[in-house]
Amino acid sequence: MHNFKQTAISLLERRDFPALERHLFDCPEEHRKFADEVSLLSLVEQKAPNEKLERPLDNYISKYSGEVPISNIVTAARLKYELGKLEEAVDLLIDNNVPRENTEATEICVLALFNLKRFQEGKELVNYLLAFAPNQPGYHEWNILFSYKLAKPTEVLESWASFTKLNGEFTQRIDVLSFVVRSYVSTGRIDDAQAVYDEHNLENELDDIHAALFIADFEKAKGNLGKCETILKRVKEKHPEIPEIQWNLALCQLVSGNLVEGWENYEARWSWIDFSSPKRIFDAPRWDGNAGLNGKKILIWGEQGIGDQLRFLTLLPRLLSSHPDVDLTLEVDHRLIKLVRSWYPEVREIWPMGLNDTSGISEYSQFDYQIPSGSLPRLYFTHADSFETQERRFLKVSQTKKAALFGGFLEKYPRLVGVSWRSMMLTPDRIGDYVNVNGFKTLIDQAPRETGFVILQYAITDEEKQSLSMYPNVFIPDEDFLNEVDLNAVYAGACDLLISCGTVVATMAGIFGIPVISWCKFDDPVNLGQKYNPWFPNRLDIRVQPNWDRVVLVNMLSKTLNNYLNRIERKNFGVTGTM
């Protein structure tokens, strides 16, 4: 070995760091890479903090790109991960082609991807690790986490069985147990969920915020709304700075029909960073419902999904009646503009959703007030009497338009039933709410032959289309319903009856006054604790329990449909407009 290298190694072993630094300073050029590596080792031996190690390590990898040992790349990625620079950690491993076979690197990547919420990529790596080491309980724990985030409850429970069989030790105990319990609930196995809950004494974890939120949600799923509310109020009192607690409390109160408190707590959404809609900033003050609006300009801006926006706008007639001279502008999802313009022709302006921060923008400085549409129920929908007295508006599809949509199909099948079976929101808490296309084929098979079925499912897949193509009495519009929402609405309004899960399709049928047979979870906050749908009197909801059976539901839907077709004429709900 060259004397320079021998001396450097000797000084490193003796931990004579000052002498080593002087020695490396006079490094011959042919040993520069070796000197840089020894310098990094010196920092490690001196237990230098990661912040001090990062730049020399970055410089080293950049300087010797393509020549750096895999082990050093992995060390750098781990350092990036520990510093919270997750994207950089992943990019470092990918850009340097570190193979999956390097399990340390793959494990770092999995952890980083989970925290980055890149769940599909992470799940693929976890699958690789499980194929490589199926008896590693830690990999099954990771699979529980990723599978839950990807709405795969069956895989969650399969990995849970393996994890327990291998006597795995938790690294993320509360998350794993809550995901397992929730997966049992979503698959209807309430007794198994309770068994896990009891076995691991989760009742004693209420001091942990994440556990308390999960426990409250579990109690709500079992129908124990009072216990759910008590838990959340207790946690909120201890942690008033955490808006997610208040948000969950709002949902619980809305489910139980405690609407005054529920809508008040619903306002916490604008303090919660993970809320689905961004918090917007305006120069105009928020309208609190007290100030008079006659002669004033107000902006009502949409929030959440398009179904939520439509549902909240059912309350607009109350505002227009109370303030007939208001100068009103609406902001909604751009896909709703045409539909809302037909629904509320007296509204002066209807805009697509605008900037989050509108401070100083002249277009917005004209307004005297602004309010998000989800805050209208706090003013107009706080007790059962308000449901009964609510003024409602309904659109109508003309017979001419209906004939243009369906042509000869309408002549052959004069009674039309629109159907939609799922949403695109296949999140862990929503995926169990739906019936697949095969369930709806059962409805078609059992319906009178003269009944025509109109497929209103948005984002329908080729497989779903192929599955339905065998039926002559099924009409599949050649439209992009995901983006052409107004057309989806027109087709829904042209039907005599709809059968749909609780998605925007059912909501659009609601604003056309079309009878809707739907289903939803018994603890859906949209129902506001009422026996009947408070937003749309033309909607019949079948309330399903956590252990609901899809076969039983399909049979109930089929029976209800056939009863309607055999004995009920379409009801006139007081049409106010035409599309």
Domain match, 312 and 445 both: no
Q: What's the CATH code of the domain at 484?
A: 3.40.50.2000
Instruction: Report the pLDDT value the prediction gives residue 430, as an integer from 0 to 100.
Output: 58
pLDDT at residue number 1: 54
Decide if 193 is inside a domain. no
Q: Which pLDDT score, from 0 to 100, does residue 575 have?
A: 34
CATH of residue 344? 3.40.50
Count of structural domains within the chain: 4
Boundary of a domain, candidates 389, 423, 451: 389
pLDDT of residue 545: 82
Quick one: 498 and 351 in the same domain? no
Query: 301 and 242, same structural domain?
Result: no
Q: Tell me: do 440 and 523 sit in the same domain.
A: yes
pLDDT of residue 176: 97
Please report the pLDDT score of residue 576 as a whole number.
35
SS (H, E, C) 72-122: HHHHHHHHHHHCCCHHHHHHHHHHCCCCCCCHHHHHHHHHHHHHCCCHHHH
Give pLDDT, residue 473. Answer: 97
Would you state the pLDDT for residue 308? 96
Bridge partners, 517 (sequence order): 499, 540
253 and 342 belong to one structural domain = no
In this structure, is residue 496 part of a structural domain? yes
Residue 359 lies in a domain: yes
Q: What's the pLDDT score for residue 188? A: 84
Other CB atoms within 10 A of residue 564 CB: 19
Encode pLDDT of 359-393 as tens digits: 999 999 999 999 999 999 999 999 888 888 889 99
What's the CATH code of the domain at 228?
A: 1.25.40.10
Q: What is the pLDDT of residue 474?
A: 97
Do the domain assignments include residue 176?
no
- Domain-ending residue, one of 337, 365, 389: 389
Residue 145 located in a structural domain: no
What span, in angstroms and rounded, lies between the C-alpha atoms of 106 and 122? Answer: 9
Q: Are 463 and 436 in contact (CB under 8 A)?
A: no
pLDDT of residue 432: 61
User: 426 with 573, same domain?
Assistant: yes
Predicted local distance difference test score (pLDDT) of residue 44: 78
Query: Which pair of structure tokens corresponds to residue 339?
Result: 């539909």
- Supply the pLDDT for residue 550: 86
| Residue 425, pLDDT score | 62
Tell me: do 249 and 326 sit in the same domain: no
Is residue 238 domain-shared with residue 383, that is, in the same domain?
Answer: no
pTM listed for this prediction: 0.85
Q: Which of 133, 166, 197 is the last residue of a domain?
A: 133
Among candidate residues 446, 444, 447, 556, the one with its CA nearest the CA of residue 455: 444
Residues of the chain with pLDDT under 50: 569-579
| Domain of 378, in residue numbers | 297-389
- Distance in angstroms (rounded) separating the CA atoms of residues 78 and 110: 12
The Cα–Cα gap between 555 and 447 comes to 11
Q: Are residues 438 and 570 in the same domain?
A: yes
Closest CA to 415 of 402, 400, 429: 402
Q: Tell me if 412 is assigned to some domain.
A: yes
